[in-house]
């Protein structure tokens, strides 16, 4: 028991066992969405209850936890979830990607490559990649059973016919180990290649939709595409204005009402680490303090 009067990491042992059994099945069947008896959590559905349940089920006293939202450790919901585990499990927390053994994330995969000693836990709102093409669970379940993903290809192809591009920029569907088509959670497609052959275990929790799924380490994860329209990630014209990083995902910061913009790393730990190493972006000296510190919340 921790000081809160709740069990270690909040969940009771029976709930943890149920979630753990689902996680093991998810690992054995990569990309398949395992139904689980998701519990009501003390934070709202849609705010990371699936990720929180997965983290609570795998977390041990020796783990070091990092929580990010939009790539940042300091966004309010990341702060709230991190505090929840500090209170209920008393575990050590960190903002440094390299120090963490478990990283819970919403919408990003860290820029720093992950290692075999880490587990990445994704918060997932809608785990079913076919949901917006076919709203019925009975039907999508059948399509997964038959590995019938024609619907998804038709949708992507219609994009090309209409826009000249595949118009999906985040939650871009992937095929896992040549079998299941999976929703990578609403990460930008920029992060999709990081999922492929990743040394870390990737676990996905969808609390409201009551599904858990997994990508084991070193698993083939392919973004769906066409020969004449190969998958491509977002590119940015300029490097990070603070740390000068190229090939990272950037947030666009509006500076004024006259079109003033700056582009900075979405991954705040990556940005701070690079600045600590002496990398300097074009606007490092002039950017507002709230931006250089990675935080931008006020009461």
Partner 1 sequence: MYVAVKGGEKAIDNAHRLLASKRRGDTSLPAISTAQIAEQLALGVDRVMAEGSLYDRSLASLAIRQSRGDLIEAIFLVRAFRTTLPRFGASEPVDTGRMQIRRRVSATFKDLPGGQILGPTFDYTHRLLDFALEAAGDETAEPAIGTASDEATPRVVDLVGEEGLIEREPAPDPDAPVGDITRTPLEFPTERDQRLQVLARGDEGFLLGLAYSTQRGFGRTHPFVGEIRFGAVEVEFVPEELGFAVPMGTVELTECQMVNQFHGGQKAGGESVPPQFTRGYGLVFGQSERKAMSMALVDRSLRAAEFAEQQSAPAQDQEFVLSHCDNVQATGFVEHLKLPHYVDFQAELGLLRTLRQEYEAAPAPAEEAMREAAE
Partner 2 sequence: MSTALASGFRDAAHDAQKVFRVLMDALARPTTVQPLALDLIPPAPLTPELASIALALADQDAPLWLDETLGSEPAVAQWLGFHTGAPVVSDPAEAAFALVRDPRALPPLDAFALGTEEFPDRSTTVVLAVESLEGGTALRVEGPGLPRPGTLSPTPLPDEFIDTLRDNRTLFPRGVDFIFAAPGALAALPRSSRLTEEA
- Select the binding partner of residue 87 from partner 1, partner 2, none (C-beta < 5 to 8 A, by kind): none
Q: Which two tokens stand for residue 265?
A: 């790393």
Instruction: Look at strands 34-35 and 201-206 and give their pairing.
Output: unpaired
Q: Any contact of residue 113 with partner 2 (CB under 8 A)?
A: no
For residue 254, the partner it binds in partner 2, partner 1, none, with Cβ less than 5 to 8 A by kind, is none
The one of partner 1, partner 2, none whose footprint includes residue 127, by CB under 5 to 8 A per kind, is none
The answer to the question of residue 28 lying near partner 2 (CB under 8 A) is yes
Of residues 216 through 235, those in contact with partner 2 by CB under 8 A are: 216-220
Q: Is 271 a catalytic residue?
A: yes
State yes or no: is 198 an active-site residue.
Answer: no
Minimum separation from the CB atom of position 149 to partner 1 (A): 21
**What is the token pair recorded at 22?**
């689902």
User: Among partner 1, partner 2, none, what binds residue 266 when CB lies within 5 to 8 Å by partner kind?
Assistant: partner 1
Of these residues, 51, 71, 265, 294, which one is catalytic?
Answer: 265
Stretch that binds partner 2, among 105-113, 122-130, 144-152, 238-246 (CB under 8 A): 144-152
Taking the least distance from each CB to partner 1, the nearer of 116 and 293 is 293
CB of 24 to partner 2, least distance (A): 6
Out of 122, 180, 190, 204, point to the residue binding partner 2 (CB under 8 A): 180
User: Of 52-60, 71-79, 228-236, 284-292, which segment contacts partner 2 by CB under 8 A?
Assistant: 52-60
Closest CA to 167 of 157, 175, 176: 157
7 binds partner 2 (CB under 8 A): yes
List the catalytic residue out of 198, 207, 271, 294.
Answer: 271
What distance lies between CA 162 and its chain's CA centroid? 29
119 close to 58: Cβ distance less than 8 angstroms = yes
């Amino acid at each position: 028991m921790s000081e809160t009067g709740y069990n270690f990491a909040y969940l009771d042992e029976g709930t943890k066992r149920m979630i753990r059994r689902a996680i093991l099945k998810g690992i054995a069947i990569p990309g398949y969405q395992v139904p689980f008896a998701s519990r009501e959590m003390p934070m709202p559905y849609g705010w990371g209850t699936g990720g929180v349940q997965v983290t609570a089920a795998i977390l041990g006293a020796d783990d070091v936890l990092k929580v990010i939202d939009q790539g940042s450790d300091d966004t309010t919901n990341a702060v709230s979830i991190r505090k929840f585990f500090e209170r209920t499990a008393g575990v050590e927390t960190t903002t440094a990607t390299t120090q963490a053994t478990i990283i819970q994330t919403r919408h990003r995969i860290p820029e720093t490559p992950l290692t075999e000693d880490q587990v990445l836990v994704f918060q997932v709102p809608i785990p079913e990649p076919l949901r917006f093409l076919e709203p019925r669970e009975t039907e999508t379940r059948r399509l997964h059973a038959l590995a019938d993903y024609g619907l998804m290809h038709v949708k992507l192809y219609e994009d090309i016919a209409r826009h000249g591009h595949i118009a999906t920029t985040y939650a871009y569907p992937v095929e896992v180990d040549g079998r299941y088509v999976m929703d990578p959670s609403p990460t930008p497609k920029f992060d999709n290649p990081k999922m492929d052959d990743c040394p870390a275990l990737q676990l996905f929790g969808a609390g409201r939709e009551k599904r858990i799924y997994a990508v084991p380490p070193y698993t083939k994860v392919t973004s769906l595409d066409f020969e004449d329209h190969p998958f491509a990630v977002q590119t940015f014209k300029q490097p990070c204005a603070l740390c000068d990083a190229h090939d990272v995902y950037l947030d666009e910061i509006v500076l004024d009402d006259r079109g003033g913009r700056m582009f900075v790393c979405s991954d705040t730990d990556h940005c701070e680490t690079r600045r600590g190493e002496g990398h300097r972006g074009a606007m490092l000296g002039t950017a507002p303090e709230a931006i250089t510190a990675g935080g931008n919340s006020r009461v």
